[in-house]
Amino acid sequence: MKLLLTSAGISNQSIRKALVALLGKPIEQASALHVPTALYAIKNGAHLSANVITGKLG
């Protein structure tokens, strides 16, 4: 199992490149699991989490 932990998702080109390198294939061909529960502890965490999941943030 390979993990890439970030605090803001795939938010810049260097993180994207690191993810592609870990996967060994294009992101579009991969399966992923996003666990947003750390966001719940901060103000508006549920709203931020929803935005991350829907691609509006991160």
Domain boundaries, the chain: 13-53
What pTM did the predictor assign?
0.57
Tell me which long-range contacts 9-14 makes (C-beta under 8 A, separation of at least 24): 9/52, 9/57, 9/58, 10/58, 11/58
- Token pair in block for residue 1: 């199992």
Q: pLDDT tens, 1-58? A: 888 888 777 888 998 999 899 999 998 898 877 777 788 889 999 998 888 888 887 6
First to last CA, the chain: 23
Which has the closest alpha carbon to 9: 32, 25, 28? 32
